[in-house]
Amino acid sequence: MTTTRQVRLAKRPQGRPDADTWNVVTEELPAVGAGEILVKVDLISIDPAMRGWLNDVRSYLPPVGIGEVMRSLDVGTVVESTHSGFSVGETVSGTFGVTEYAISDGSGVERIDLAVAPAATWLGALGITGMTAYFGLIDVGKVQAGETVLISAAAGAVGSVAGQIAKALGATVIGIAGGPEKCRMLTEEFGFDLAIDYRSENVLRRLRELAPGGVDVFFDNVGGEILDAALANLRRGARVVISGAIASYNAEKPPPGPSRYMSLLVFRASMTGFVVFDYADRYGEAVAQISKWLAEGKIKPREHVVAGGVDQFGTTLEMLFTGANTGKLLLAI
């Protein structure tokens, strides 16, 4: 029998999740059955989407139920296997949840190649994070070389990869982030052309100065006032890609929408939402392309790994909402 610490949903949060949201429990896992694997979780991906999974509403995935192990994407090591597809010692990714150990029948589990990139990058630039940036920019945003691309939460997990992909595609890239250190990283480490500090600058006015002709693609992870500022600065035919809206995930009632949405008419622009899981059958294409850019140095992966195990899950998740992380936030077990 294997003993594991796990994080279970205690109650649905009103507003920002806090200590009362979670129960950290110690459980005994059953024995590994036929065709199953036991995975020791090494790294847990901490994602803004997790907040949405806590709400009891119709969405692209069912909510996490009260008492259930919190859903997460993880990388781990196979420590027992009766499954013909997996051997002990292999490194795998899957939706194992916020737990130290998990038993799986192998569905949705993939072996990952540590010769291509370390485990953390497989949850970042080569994981759902990178897939979101890739399909959002290329399929939804239809970025073309020479266009101007604006990215919000640009120092975050998806934003930092999206900006580097846009650069690799030949675009001029402007990032919006909070604070001088993040803005410095955008231009000096991630190769963005320009950065706007939303904490000290008026984004609407600054954007008008930096992109007087307007932006062609806005890849939005934030929503709220930043979305409005971008809507005021579009170029004709612009595409606004709705990847997320972290500014409103903890709102207790629906926050105001983008009051400048009629800019879509003035600029003949579109605003389109997408869910990365719809592109699952094309992840291979994206992994191949992003691996190539990683090898060429065109994308520098950036992970922010917090130590401490599942007991630190709640405080680590909070970091997303205070902007405390740069790059992909991960919890090491």
Minimum distance from CB of 44 to a copy of itself (Å)?
24
Beta strands in 1-143 (DSSP E): 2-9, 22-29, 37-45, 74-81, 91-94, 101-104, 110-111
Q: How far is the CB of 259 from a copy of itself (least distance, A)?
A: 4
Angle at CA of residue 25, ends 21 and 30, nearest 5°: 130
Token look-up 């991960």 returns 330
- Is the dihedral angle over the CA atoms 202, 204, 205, 210 positive or is it negative? positive
According to DSSP, residue 299 is labeled S
β 2-9/22-29 pair status: antiparallel
Nearer to a copy of itself, 57 or 288 (CB): 57
φ/ψ region of 235 (left if φ > 0, alpha if ψ in -120 to 50, else beta) reads beta
Residue 249 or residue 313: which is nearer to a copy of itself going by CB? 249
Q: How far is the CB of 177 from a copy of itself (least distance, A)?
A: 22
Minimum distance of a copy of itself from residue 255's CB (angstroms): 6
Distance CA 137, CA 241 (A): 8
Whole-number minimum distance, CB 13 to a copy of itself, in Å? 18
Query: Which residue, 168 or 271, has its beta carbon nearer to a copy of itself?
Result: 271
> Residues interacting with a copy of itself, by CB under 8 A?
58-60, 223, 228, 242-245, 248, 254-275, 278
Nearer to a copy of itself, 106 or 273 (CB): 273
What the block records as the tokens of 289 is: 């392309």
